[in-house]
Amino acid sequence: MDKIIYPLIFTPVLRDYIWGGRNLETKLGRTLPPGIVAESWEISGHPSSPTTVENGSLAGQTLPEVLQRLGLDLVGHRSQAMLERGKFPLLIKLLDANQPLSVQVHPNDEYANLHENGELGKTEMWYILYAEPGAYLIYGLKPGVTPDSFRQARETGSLESCLHQLPVKAGDAVFIPAGSVHAIMEGILLAEIQQNSDTTYRVYDWNRLGADGKPRPLHLDKAIDVINFAQVESGHFPPQLIEENDNLRREIITTCPYFNVERVTLKHKEAAFKGQADGITFEIWGAMSGLGRVVWAGESLELPAVRFTLLPAALGDFEIEALTPSVLLRTYVPG
């Protein structure tokens, strides 16, 4: 086994947007710098915030550097087109909403490529780690909203009357395809799995000022171009059972052209998932609760909650073992 093909752990990159808080410390036990922490980019090849490998022979290299070095051995044949663009396909984040995020929408690939200098669009999913009682998301629109009524409501300060509210609790999965009007509201801590893009069109920012004392920029015209006005009163992604036995339960909790996400519940200590990274796609595993361990080629790596690891496409046989009963997310590029 080549010593540069092994499960990769990355040092997160932190973002301090005005809506953040301290829940990555108080809820997840992380050591944080002083002040507000809104996002933790866990696995990122985005040029604005690339994450750096912290384990093994590739320690100190950024994900884009590892991508350039390993190529298809890292991402697999399903991501050939992304490799040719020099982009790692996905981006993994944790978000701590101490205040509401802006109401926003993301473009699809075609629109972003045309209007954002060749950038990718942004389809994403959220897995709720913690939600205060009564917490909700903005997700889609209410019935009857049109581009004209949406614009008028925005200009008259009554936009909230157009927005659908979706209550959430820990363990919920919400799929946010490009074109979805959305906002994470206060009191929610979540994991986000998304295309490798940071293209966001803000529609409404609750009339607040940014850290510089000025309103943050809005992008109403582009937003109306890309909003899916047929997305009305959407709900959670319904889990789809794949497999269940005495040891584990596997459910699909998001499926789309860019990524599939499974929730894998290892029911007891020593329960295990056996997999194979056979060159087709990389896999990203994240422990949401409990304590897991990745085992490959006679080696092992502990995976505590809440951390993620990237398994290269050329890794070969592996196991995800439970050191305690655990819930994990498994992400890969579908065929």
Instruction: Say how many domains are in the chain.
Output: 2
CA–CA distance, 164 with 72 (Å, rounded to integer): 41
- pLDDT grade, residue 207 (50/70/90)? confident
Q: Are residues 31 and 165 in the same domain?
A: yes
Look at residue 215 in the predicted model and tell me its pLDDT.
86
pLDDT of 214 > 90? The answer is no
Q: Is residue 1 part of a domain?
A: no
Look at residue 112 in the predicted model and tell me its pLDDT.
96
CA–CA distance, 56 with 134 (Å, rounded to integer): 43
Q: What is the pLDDT of residues 144-163, one digit of tens each?
A: 999 999 999 999 999 999 99
In a 13 Å sphere around the CA of 305, the CA atoms on its Cβ side amount to: 18
Contacts of 34 (CB under 8 A, 6+ apart): none
Q: Is residue 86 part of a domain?
A: yes
Q: Are residues 20 and 114 in the same domain?
A: yes
Q: Are residues 133 and 282 in the same domain?
A: no
CA–CA distance, 236 with 270 (Å, rounded to integer): 31
Q: What is the pLDDT of residues 292-313, one digit of tens each?
A: 999 999 999 999 999 999 999 9
Q: Are residues 104 and 249 in the same domain?
A: no
- pLDDT mean over 51-59: 97
Q: Is residue 166 part of a domain?
A: yes
**Boundary of a domain, candidates 226, 252, 272:** 226
Q: Is residue 2 part of a domain?
A: no
* Residues constituting the chain: 335
What is the overall mean pLDDT for the chain? 96
C-beta separation of 43 from 284 below 8 A = yes
Percent of the chain's residues with pLDDT above 90: 95
Please list the residues that pair with 284 across neighbouring strands.
310, 331
Q: Are residues 96 and 118 in the same domain?
A: yes
What pTM was estimated for this model as a whole? 0.96
Q: Is residue 300 part of a domain?
A: yes
Q: Are residues 220 and 83 in the same domain?
A: yes
C-beta separation of 153 from 144 below 8 A = no
Span of 74-83, 202-211, 222-231, 287-296 with lowest mean pLDDT: 202-211
**Boundary of a domain, candidates 175, 200, 226:** 226
- pLDDT mean over 227-232: 97
- pLDDT mean over 219-237: 96
Q: What is the pLDDT of residues 122-132, one digit of tens each?
A: 999 999 999 99
Q: Is residue 268 part of a domain?
A: yes
Q: Are residues 33 and 75 in the same domain?
A: yes
Look at residue 1 in the predicted model and tell me its pLDDT.
42
Give the domain CATH number at 275: 2.60.120.10
Q: Is residue 4 part of a domain?
A: no
**Boundary of a domain, candidates 171, 196, 226:** 226
Q: Are residues 176 and 58 in the same domain?
A: yes
Look at residue 2 in the predicted model and tell me its pLDDT.
52
Q: Are residues 274 and 189 in the same domain?
A: no
| Catalytic annotation, residues | 202
Q: Are residues 44 and 71 in the same domain?
A: yes
Q: Is residue 278 part of a domain?
A: yes
Q: What is the pLDDT of residues 10-40, one digit of tens each?
A: 999 999 999 999 999 999 999 999 999 999 9
Contacts of 264 (CB under 8 A, 6+ apart): 248, 249, 250, 273, 320, 327, 328, 329, 330
Contacts of 327 (CB under 8 A, 6+ apart): 263, 264, 265, 266, 287, 288, 289, 290
Q: Are residues 168 and 253 in the same domain?
A: no
Expressed as residue numbers, the domain containing 325 is 240-332
Q: Are residues 186 and 322 in the same domain?
A: no
Please list the residues that pair with 332 across neighbouring strands.
260, 283
